Structure 1
Amino acid sequence: MTTLKGAIRSYGAAVRRMEREQQRQAREAAKRFKEQQKLQEIKNAQQAVSDWQSYVETIQSVHKNCTAPIDWQQIENTERPNEPTPITKYEIIAKNKLDNFKPSFFDKLFGSTQKKINKLSKQLDQAIEKDKKEFDIAYKEYLDELNNWQELQEITTGIKKRESDSYKKALQYFDPFSDIGELGTKINFNFDQNHIDIDLHVNSLDVIPDYELKQTSTGKLSKKSMPKSRFNELYQDHICSSSIRVAREVFAYLPIDYARINALAKIVNTKTGHLEEQPILSVIFPPQTIENLNLDTIDPSDSMQNFVHNMSFNKTKGFSVVKKVELN
C-alpha cells in the first residue's frame, strides 16, 4: 500500500525527470539554433564573396556585351507602310439590323415600331462613330510608322553616301548610349566621312571597390583593403574595356574605317593644382582588328597593344595625362 510519503517522493522524482528532460531539449534547441545561425552566416559570406567577385568581373568585361550590327540594306528594302482604309465593320452590322427590321405583331399592336426603329438608328450612329474612332487610331499609328520609315530611309541613304550628318542621326535615332552608367558619365561625338572621334568621360575611381572579400577556412567573411597596385590595375582594365565597348557600339551602326576613343578623367593639372578633365587613354580602333580578337578571353589593358594608342600607366601611381593619339 502506497504511503503519502512515498507518493510525494515519486511525484518529486517525476518532476525532476521532467525538468531534466526540458533542460536537455532546451540545450539541443539552442545547439540547433547556433548551428543554423552558423550555416546562415556561412551562406551569407558565400553570397557576399560571390557578389563581390561578380561585380569585379563586370567592371572589367563591359566590352563583351554589344548591340547586334544594324543591317542597313535590310532597312532600305523595308516596304513603305500601307495606309489604312476607312473602317465600316460596326456600321455594316448596325445597318443590316436596321434594314432588316420587321415589326412584330405586338410592335404594331402596342405602337412600338417607331421606337425600335429610332433605337436602331441611334445604334447605327454610334456604330459609325465607333468605326471612326478605330480608324483615327489606326491612321495615327500609320502616320507614326510612316514617319519612322521615312526617317530611317533618309538615314540609310545618307549612310550609303558616308555623310557625317547621317552618322549623327543614326546614333541619335538608335541611342545606344542612353544608359552609359557602366561606361562613363558622358559621351561626345565628332563625325567625319570615314571615322568618328569620341570623348568618353569615364567613371571615377569610385567605381572600383577599395577592399577585397574572401571566405576563411571556417566559412567566415574576411574583408581587407585592396592593394594599391591591384586597385589601379582594375581601374585600368575598366577604362580599356569601356573604350572597346564604345567602339564596338559605334561599329554596330556605322560603316566607318576607324573610331578614335579618348577616355577623359578628372586628373590634377600640375600647373594649376586643380582637377580637370584630361585624356588618360586615347585609342584608334579599326573594326577589323576588334573583330579578330577573342573578346571573351582578352585582358582589356593588354589588348591595347593591338591598336595605335597613347596610355601612360603605373601600377602604384595609376594613370597619367596623355595626348590624343594621331593616325599617321
Structure 2
Amino acid sequence: MSWKGTMRSLQASARRAERNAHRRQRELERRQQEFAKMEALEQAAYEVEVYENHIDILLSMHKECAEPVKWKKIFSKPEPKQPLKSGALEQAAMHASATYRPNFFARLFKLEKRQREVLLAKIASAAAEDEKVFQAEFEEWRTTHSDWAEERDIALRILDGDRQAKLDAIEAFESFEEISHLGSSIQMIVHEGGVLEAKLAIHGSHVIPTEIKSLLKSGKLSTKAMPAGRFNELHQDYVCSCALRVGRELLAILPDDLVVVTAMDTLLNSSTGHMEDQPILSVAFSRATVERLNLEAIDPSDAMKNFVHNMSFKKGSGFAVVTALDPQRFAVPVSGVS
C-alpha cells in the first residue's frame, strides 16, 4: 500500500460526523422507491421534503469536515522493528530428539531406530517451517516499513512546507468529493511563500433551484418561480458555505495557519463581452478564526466578515466580479518539524 492508500485508510478510520441533512437525504432516497405507490397528497409532501432537503444540503456544506491530520504524530511514529528468525520449532524438535527415550513397547518391537529417524526428520521439517514463518513476517515487515518510510517522508515534507507535498496530500485525502458531485471543480495552487490557494469553479447558478415547492393548506403541491432576490441569497449562501468547507478541509489536511479560497463563477466579462469564469468571492481563512466559529449556528454569508475577503453582492443583482486576494501578502515563514 502506498502512503496515499495509507492516508485514505487513516482518514476512513476517523469518519467525519455526518450532518443531519445527509442522513435525511438517505432516508428520502429509500422512500423514493415507494413513490409510485403513494397517494397524490403523499407524493406532494415527499416532493417538498426532497426540495427542502436539497436546499439544506446546499447551505450546510460548511458544517462537515474531515478529522485533522496530525503530521507531527505521523512523523514521530517509531520505526517498525525487523523480525528475527526465532527457530522455535526447530529447537523444540531438536529437544524432542535429544531427550527421546524408548519406552517398553519401542524396545519390545524394536521401534527405537525408526522413531529416532522420525524425530530427526522432524527437525528438518521444523527448520523449514521456521523459515516459512520468518519469510512471511519479513515480507509483512518490509511492507509496513515501506509505508512507515513513505508516511514519514511526506510528513517531513509537509512540515517543512514542501509545495508538491501539500498537493500530494490534498489529492490523497479526496476530501472534496461531495462538492464535485454538486458540479464544482477545484484547482489547487501553492504560491511562492507557501500559501495555498484553492480556486473553486462553483457554478452555483446551476445548482440552486429556480422554483419553490411548498404544500398548500389542502396538502397539494404548489410550485412557483423563485423570486430573483431569493435565488441570489441562496446562491450567495451556497458559494460562501462551499468556500468555508474548502477552507476547513484544507486546514484539516495541512498544518498551515492560513489558506486562500477563491470562488469562480460564470459572469459577463465587460472587457471581452463574453461569459467567463471570474472571481466572485476570495477569502483568506485563518485557522485561529475558523476554530472560534460556531459552525452549526452561523450564516455562511455573514461569516465571511470574520476573514479578510473580497465579495461584491446585491440581493437584486447577485454577485459582481471582484479582485482575487493576493496570496503573497499572507506568506509567513514555515516552522518545520521543530
TM-score scaled by length of structure 1: 0.70
In the alignment, structure 1 residue 153 sits paired with structure 2 residue 152: yes
Q: Which of structures 1 and 2 has the bigger CA Rg? A: 1
CA separation of 1:199/1:135 partners in 2, compared to 1, >3 Å: closer, same or farther?
Answer: farther
* 8 A contact 1:241–1:301 mirrored in 2: yes
Match in the other structure for 1:273:
273
CA separation of 1:243/1:130 partners in 2, compared to 1, >3 Å: closer, same or farther?
Answer: farther
SS at match of 2:273: coil
Q: How far apart, CA to CA, are the structure 1 residues paired with 2:55 and 2:196?
A: 30
TM-score scaled by length of structure 2: 0.68
* 8 A contact 2:204–2:239 mirrored in 1: no
Match in the other structure for 2:51:
52
CA separation of 1:149/1:215 partners in 2, compared to 1, >3 Å: closer, same or farther?
Answer: same
Identity %: 34
Match in the other structure for 1:212:
212
Q: Once the two structures are superposed, what CA deviation does each residue of 1:217-251 show, in whole Å capped at 9, x if it has no partner?
A: 12222222211211121111111111111111111
SS at match of 1:56: helix
Q: How far apart, CA to CA, are the structure 2 residues paired with 1:208 and 1:297?
A: 22
Q: How far apart, CA to CA, are the structure 1 residues paired with 2:88 and 2:269?
A: 73
Q: Once the two structures are superposed, what CA deviation does each residue of 1:281-316 show, in whole Å capped at 9, x if it has no partner?
A: 111111111112211111111111222211122223
List gaps (5 residues or longer) in structure 1: 1-36, 106-113
CA separation of 1:282/1:275 partners in 2, compared to 1, >3 Å: closer, same or farther?
Answer: same
Moved more, 224-233 or 181-190: 181-190
Q: How far apart, CA to CA, are the structure 2 residues paired with 1:47 and 1:194?
A: 49
Q: Once the two structures are superposed, what CA deviation does each residue of 1:232-278 show, in whole Å capped at 9, x if it has no partner?
A: 21111111111111111111122223211111122232333323221
Moved more, 187-196 or 87-96: 87-96
* 8 A contact 2:312–2:321 mirrored in 1: yes
Of the two structures, which has the highest relative contact order with CA contacts closer than 8 Å and spacing of 6 or more? 2
Question: Aligned Cα RMSD in Å?
Answer: 3.9
Match in the other structure for 1:170:
169
Q: How far apart, CA to CA, are the structure 2 residues paired with 1:317 and 1:227?
A: 12
- 1:65 Cα offset (Å): 0.5
* 8 A contact 1:72–1:156 mirrored in 2: yes
Amino acid in the other structure paired with 1:268: L
User: 1:1-328 counterparts in 2 under 5 A?
Assistant: 40-85=39-84, 138-177=137-176, 180-182=179-181, 184-193=184-193, 195-326=195-326, 327=329
Q: How far apart, CA to CA, are the structure 1 residues paired with 2:304 and 2:42?
A: 39
* 8 A contact 2:281–2:310 mirrored in 1: yes
* 8 A contact 1:237–1:301 mirrored in 2: yes
- 1:98 Cα offset (Å): 12
* 8 A contact 2:179–2:242 mirrored in 1: no
Q: How far apart, CA to CA, are the structure 1 residues paired with 2:37 and 2:176?
A: 45
SS at match of 1:301: helix
Q: Once the two structures are superposed, what CA deviation does each residue of 1:124-175 show, in whole Å capped at 9, x if it has no partner?
A: 97x9988877766654443332222112212332344344344334334434
List gaps (5 residues or longer) in structure 2: 1-35, 106-113, 331-338
Q: How far apart, CA to CA, are the structure 1 residues paired with 2:284 and 2:238?
A: 17
- 1:40 Cα offset (Å): 3.0
Moved more, 56-65 or 219-228: 219-228
Q: How far apart, CA to CA, are the structure 1 residues paired with 2:54 and 2:93?
A: 63
CA separation of 1:42/1:158 partners in 2, compared to 1, >3 Å: closer, same or farther?
Answer: same
